[in-house]
């Protein structure tokens, strides 16, 4: 085998394991635990707090500079973080197995919060490692694997483990999740992180680098695209569950279609986007993905007007999840391109958090407006935002990835001067 191909395969297997495992426990907690508690008779207001754990991921940029700044030179800067965090996830999930979900929920809430924090911090280190080890031409494939990995982790944690829960029970389910989380440790331990100039300058990364990133020339244009591009698909995803409930679908039917079939379709969209990036480039891939988002919004108009045609709804959900996988992949790729390798975790996490927080707020607003107006009216707003994002991308031309060179790492970090990072 060609050494270059062997190296690329090692990178993809390593990243795939990291991205799958970070969502196993979290997917189970957010998707499966509410169903388990509700089945046991727990009141809805005593379950709602679980969904707030997702906000931990949205604010992870607040401690991302610490991941860039501190790390082991001997064991690899980001590798040392990944070994520690993967181990903490395993230990926390094993610990949670020894408490009863019905009688000791207050204790388990601490374990759930720790799993959310550890998985979010593992994601910071994994994203930073990906920025530094993936060549620009590999990022399309790498981010396809990132998106697909998250979907696989969520599908198994929130879907498969929930389906088998009636046979496994609480303790065995948590131990199974811990065992699956342990598998990527093999590749992490085998990985030899190459010393990079950034590794010798960790003390120069600080919280001011969050502001430094936003002060780069013309960065505001990319931030606007980052915020607007996902409005269409975020609203579509937020509306689909209550829309299907209103049409009379059962919860297990919705869960199967969205979490199992939808996740598989999202993976297809992720790899389609990765291929488009390699063949057509970032801008063309982003424009085509934007068109797919608009089509997915149009597909939901029929069920929004109470047309309960099974195959039409399956098709609409399929296109929606296809668009979701594609948009997540192309955005992640361009976000990596915008990162200075000397502060990769900080730069990437800030972009991710900006997009996540705005999507979270948009989704909540969409649900509120749907209750006041109608699903169709809110979808019209979503379609308008999708068309606006296409116009913004069309007139944006700064898709040149940052090139990793010695001078790249010598760029100023925590100072007051604007920084231009160009390849």
Ordered by where they begin, the domains of the chain are 3-409 (1.20.1250.20)
**pLDDT tens digits for range 277-314:** 999 999 999 999 999 999 999 999 988 887 778 888 89
Q: Are 122 and 106 in contact (CB under 8 A)?
A: no
Tell which phi-psi region holds residue 76, choosing left (phi > 0), alpha (psi between -120 and 50) or beta. Answer: left
Range from 2-6, 196-200, 207-211, 372-376 that averages highest in pLDDT: 372-376
Q: What is the pTM of this model?
A: 0.85
Helices and strands in the chain, H and E counts = 20, 0
Mean pLDDT of 174-200: 81
Mean pLDDT of 115-130: 94
Predicted pLDDT of residue 80: 93
What one-character-per-residue DSSP string does 49-87 give? GGGGGHHHHHTGGGTHHHHHH--BTTTBHHHHHHHHHHH
The gap from C-alpha 150 to its chain's centroid, in whole angstroms, comes to 6
pLDDT at 406 exceeding the cut of 50: no
Q: pLDDT category, 35, cuts 50, 70, 90?
A: confident
Q: pLDDT category, 404, cuts 50, 70, 90?
A: very low
**pLDDT tens digits for range 211-262:** 888 888 888 999 999 999 988 888 888 888 788 878 888 767 877 888 788 8
């Amino acid at each position: 085998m060609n050494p270059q191909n062997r190296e690329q395969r090692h990178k993809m297997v390593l990243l795939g394991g990291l991205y799958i495992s970070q969502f196993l426990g979290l997917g189970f907690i957010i998707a499966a635990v509410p169903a388990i508690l509700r089945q046991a008779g727990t009141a809805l207001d005593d379950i709602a707090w679980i969904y707030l754990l997702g906000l931990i991921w949205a604010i992870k940029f607040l401690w991302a500079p610490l991941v860039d700044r501190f790390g082991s030179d001997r064991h690899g800067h980001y590798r040392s973080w990944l070994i520690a965090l993967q181990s903490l996830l395993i230990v926390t999930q094993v610990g949670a197995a020894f408490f009863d979900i019905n009688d000791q929920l207050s204790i388990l809430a601490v374990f759930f919060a720790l799993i959310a924090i550890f998985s979010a911090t593992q994601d910071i280190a994994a994203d930073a490692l990906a920025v530094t080890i993936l060549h620009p031409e590999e990022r399309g494939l790498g981010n396809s694997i990132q998106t697909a990995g998250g979907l696989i982790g969520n599908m198994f944690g929130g879907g498969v483990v929930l389906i088998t829960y009636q046979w496994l029970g609480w303790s065995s389910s948590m131990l199974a999740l811990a065992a699956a989380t342990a598998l990527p440790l093999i590749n992490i331990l085998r990985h030899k992180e190459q010393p990079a100039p950034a590794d010798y300058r960790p003390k120069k990364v600080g919280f001011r680098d969050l502001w430094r990133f936003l002060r780069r020339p013309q960065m505001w244009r990319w931030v606007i695209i980052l915020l607007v591009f996902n409005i269409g698909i975020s609203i579509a995803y937020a509306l689909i569950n209550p829309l299907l409930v209103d049409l009379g679908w059962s919860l297990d039917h919705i869960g199967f279609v969205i979490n199992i079939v939808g996740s598989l379709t999202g993976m297809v969209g992720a790899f389609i986007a990765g291929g488009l990036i390699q063949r057509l480039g970032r801008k063309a891939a982003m424009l085509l993905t934007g068109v797919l988002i608009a089509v997915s919004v149009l597909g939901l108009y029929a069920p929004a007007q109470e047309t309960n045609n099974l195959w039409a709804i399956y098709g609409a959900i399929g296109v929606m999840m296809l668009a979701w996988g594609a948009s997540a992949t192309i955005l992640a790729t361009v976000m990596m391109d915008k990162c200075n390798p000397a502060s990769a975790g900080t730069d990437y996490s800030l972009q991710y958090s900006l997009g996540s927080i705005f999507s979270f707020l948009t989704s909540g607003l969409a649900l509120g407006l749907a209750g006041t107006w109608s699903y169709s009216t809110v979808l019209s707003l979503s379609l308008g935002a999708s068309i606006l994002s296409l116009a913004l991308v069309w007139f944006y031309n700064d898709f040149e990835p940052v090139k990793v060179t010695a001078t790249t790492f010598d760029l100023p970090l925590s100072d007051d001067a604007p920084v231009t990072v160009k390849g």
